[in-house]
Amino acid sequence: MRCRPPAALCGPRFSSLGLLWALAVKMAVEEINNGSALLPGLHLGYDLFDTCSEPMVAMKPSLMFMAKAGSCSIAAYCNYTQYQPRVLAVIGPHSSELALVTGKFFSFFLVPQVRPPPHLSRCHPPPLALPTGAPTSGGASRPLQVSYGASTDRLSNREIFPSFFRTVPSDRVQVAAMVELLQELGWNWVAAVGSDDEYGRQGLSLFSGLANARGICIAHEGLVPLPPGSLRLGALQGLLRQVNQSSVQVVVLFSSAHAARTLFSYSIRCKLSPKVWVASEAWLTSDLVMTLPGMPGVGTVLGFLQQGAPMPEFPSYVRTRLALAADPAFCASLDAEQPGLEEHVVGPRCPQCDHVTLENLSAGLLHHQTFAAYAAVYGVAQALHHTLRCNASGCPRREPVRPWQLLENMYNVSFRARGLALQFDASGNVNVDYDLKLWVWQDPTPELRTVGTFKGRLELWRSQMCWHTPGKQPVSQCSRQCKEGQVRRVKGFHSCCYDCVDCKAGSYQRNPDDLLCTQCDQDQWSPDRSTRCFPRKPMFLAWGEPAVLLLLALLALALGLALAALGLFLWHSDSPLVQASGGPRACFGLACLGLVCLSVLLFPGQPGPASCLAQQPLFHLPLTGCLSTLFLQAAEIFVGSELPPSWAEKMRGRLRGPWAWLVVLLAMLAEAAWCAWYLVAFPPEVVTDWRVLPTEALVHCHVHSWISFGLVHATNAMLAFLCFLGTFLVQSRPGRYDGARGLTFAMLAYFITWISFVPLFANVHVAYQPAVQMGAILLCALGILATFHLPKCYLLLQRPELNTPEFFLEDNARAQGSSWGQGRGESGQKQVTPDPVTSPQ
């Protein structure tokens, strides 16, 4: 525990990359000062300080940068609008951990993070500093900060870091590229590990959120401790054992280079089976990891590296600067010209720095972030170019530049570095594309092979890829991919662990990652295991169906017989047989029977409102007309056979002539009343049933009330019942035509047909109900024709000798016979004449 502020000193260390990045900044400043494109006639100055990767060390030069020009102290003011700090902008630091500390400090003063002096002079080069942010309402003067390596997404928050800019993309872009890579290669069951610092924690958090949103499951998650500790390393070893024992084949490692080296050291020691490692940019190119013994056995390493412009002159520039640094006379001249601040700010110089050679730096000469440090200077210089209103002849503005004035021109500034166009967006980030790099193992270190690019979308070059794992491309999935037409039924806590369930008929799989089948719309259908729905076709009793064709043939038969019988009756209209059958009433009944047969033509074809309304009336009314004539015939037979002669003569007169037509009219009016009530109270309508058929939409006439449907049959059923009752008990007379028998069988045919119709109609599929009605109507008509009318036609054609008044007319029989009682009493003693219909001679 600290009790007093310690001296912030750097320990023995040397960072070759840090030195190269500092030289890249120096090279950019010298190029700008030696050129005339950006700041003609002006020179940029700079101070370079080592942060030692320690926040306390980094704060020392940060406080010096904010000191008032010409002093080493920070003055306290209520309004910092006119405050002139020692620098205008600050380049760096490299790490996210340090940038979060310095970024908040510089944002208070709106100083862009690079550093120039309070004024620009043609004689004395100003230190380079860039303000980040815009002036607040209180007028704070914030220097801007441009980092070439801090990629944490928190630094994109303009409310907290208004003066922070960077020449590297946010980690959010890199994480999006990683997730798209996992999706492209079909890996949805991964482990995620991060270093226990700001970079690793926020990267791991971004990856977890985006991966879960894209359907990628994180089976194991953990942090690599920094600095290594025995307790935390025990948890890391447990994590590695879990990964080794599970089906996870891919590990996403978002960490610093030191943490990655720690993790791989333990994985090699624990003999972790080869995996695919998706690397973050921080350790992908690190020598700390590449040169670790045993690394070729860890598996395949993939990662994204930001693109940059080539700097072919940089190695020679570094060689020249190292040669000058080795010259004591040159170093003495620099100290005499402008004494440095480093010793009393961050401690003495590192002893290794005096013995640096090009061989010590060769591995990092082509490091990707060297260009980012170089480009940061050009971004600040471009903003300074706009602030000073520079042109080809010079920079007209002479008054001192405040940090917040430079900051205004940093937003959305476009600049070029080594021919590459860059621009800071509203969040202070630049939009830089990524290359996908693959480690190809070669002694002593792996080669970085480009196997794809990420420019907002991933482009993968599979032919360039090779796998340092057993077999072909590794598969990292908790469950197999479901087949088409199957959805996932999640088991457990991870959405990637599931069973595949078939989509039933009427539903389909919309997306490959669906957890539930999507129901088809009512006008669509789908088979089992479908990935789409199909439109339903309208289905009705079509004219061309075999059942309809058979019924139409039956219709032709029934209608032909009815018309033939009608023609025969009209031809023999004056004959005793026709007269005994009712004469004109018999022809009317046959005509009605023909209309009954024609009514079946309303049932086939696509139903319409008119056909639905007309079906029952146009069937029942003609049938009522036919049955009413048969009822009169039955009444005459019953009266003539069962009543005394005096009553019979009186009743027979009423059953003939106008009174008979009145009965027919009344019966048809009663049936018309039932039909009118049925159509008004419960009108049938055309409906489309989407569910009754699996693949079609059934269009049919819907009956709202089956009770009303049955009541429409009431008149006809009553007439048929009275006919049957009046003829069933009548005894036939010898030598006379037995009309009662034909009527009895006709009514039996009627009842058998319609009684059978009820259960058949109720149980048959609704699609075939119209066909059942057609069949019932035609069988009813054929039954009446076959049992009542056709026998008479047979007598007219084959037994004309029986077509006599004595055989058919009741009056002549009455005149020849005795009284009603005697005729019945003597019937058993008279000669019995064979029935001409059932047994013709």
Q: Distances in Å between the alpha carbon of 348 and those of 52, 194, 345, 691?
A: 12, 34, 9, 87
The 3-state DSSP class for residue 516 equals: coil
Contact 587, 564 (CB under 8 A): no
Contact 191, 243 (CB under 8 A): yes
- Structure tokens that stand for 405 in this block: 């004035």
CATH code for position 67:
3.40.50.2300
Contact 596, 754 (CB under 8 A): no
- The DSSP 8-state label assigned to residue 110 in this structure reads B
- Structure tokens that stand for 586 in this block: 């018999």
**Cα-flanking dihedrals φ and ψ of residue 401, to 5°?**
-100, 130
Q: SS3 for 473-488, per residue? A: CCCCCCCCCCCCCEEE
Through-space distance between the first and last CA atoms of the chain, rounded to whole angstroms: 136
**pLDDT for position 72:** 76
512 and 578 assigned to the same domain: no
Residue 539, strand partner residues: 698
Q: Which residues, including other chains, have CB under 8 Å from residue 2's CB and lie 6 or more apart?
A: none
- The DSSP 8-state label assigned to residue 600 in this structure reads G
Between helix 739-763 and helix 609-642 the angle, nearest 10°, is: 150
Considering Cα of 236, then 239, then 245, then 248, what sign does the dihedral take? negative
260 and 180 assigned to the same domain: yes
Q: What does the radius of gyration of the chain's CA atoms come to, in whole angstroms? A: 53
Tell me which residue of 505, 492, 664 sits closest to 591, measured CA to CA: 664
- Structure tokens that stand for 756 in this block: 């059978």
- List, for the chain, all residue ranges whose pLDDT scores fall below the cut of 50: 113-140, 342, 346, 810-841
Domain with 77 in it: 16-112+138-168+315-326+365-423
336 falls within a domain:
no
Q: Which residues, including other chains, have CB under 8 Å from residue 586's CB and lie 6 or more apart?
A: 569, 578, 629, 633
Number of domains in the chain: 4
Residue 142, strand partner residues: 110
**pLDDT for position 353:** 66
**pLDDT for position 117:** 30
190 falls within a domain:
yes
Q: Which residues, including other chains, have CB under 8 Å from residue 241's CB and lie 6 or more apart?
A: 270
Q: Which residues, including other chains, have CB under 8 Å from residue 726's CB and lie 6 or more apart?
A: 631, 634, 635, 637, 638, 743
- Cα(619)–Cα(598) distance, rounded to whole angstroms? 8
665 falls within a domain:
yes
201 and 218 assigned to the same domain: yes
290 and 388 assigned to the same domain: no
Tell me which residue of 804, 818, 638 sits closest to 737, measured CA to CA: 804
Tell me which residue of 250, 259, 109 sits closest to 198, measured CA to CA: 259
439 and 490 assigned to the same domain: no
159 and 197 assigned to the same domain: no
222 and 293 assigned to the same domain: yes
- Cα(111)–Cα(113) distance, rounded to whole angstroms? 6
**Cα-flanking dihedrals φ and ψ of residue 489, to 5°?**
-110, 105
- Cα(596)–Cα(554) distance, rounded to whole angstroms? 13
Compute the residue count for the chain: 841
Centroid of chain to Cα 488 = 14
Q: Which of 373, 405, 423 is the last residue of a domain?
A: 423
Which residue bears the tokens 């903003």? 383
Between helix 739-763 and helix 714-728 the angle, nearest 10°, is: 140
Contact 168, 157 (CB under 8 A): no
193 and 240 assigned to the same domain: yes
Which residue bears the tokens 């333990």? 266
831 falls within a domain:
no
Q: What is the number of other CB atoms lying within 10 angstroms of the CB of residue 410?
A: 27
631 and 710 assigned to the same domain: yes
555 falls within a domain:
no
Contact 767, 692 (CB under 8 A): yes
pTM of the full predicted structure?
Answer: 0.63
735 falls within a domain:
yes
733 and 635 assigned to the same domain: yes
Between helix 546-571 and helix 584-598 the angle, nearest 10°, is: 170
Residue 276, strand partner residues: 250, 300
349 falls within a domain:
no
The 3-state DSSP class for residue 159 equals: coil
- Cα(817)–Cα(830) distance, rounded to whole angstroms? 11
396 and 493 assigned to the same domain: no
417 and 444 assigned to the same domain: no
**Cα-flanking dihedrals φ and ψ of residue 424, to 5°?**
-80, 130
Contact 98, 58 (CB under 8 A): yes
Q: What is the number of other CB atoms lying within 10 angstroms of the CB of residue 310?
A: 11
Which residue bears the tokens 């064979």? 834
Q: Which residues, including other chains, have CB under 8 Å from residue 749's CB and lie 6 or more apart?
A: 779, 780, 783, 784, 786, 787
544 falls within a domain:
no
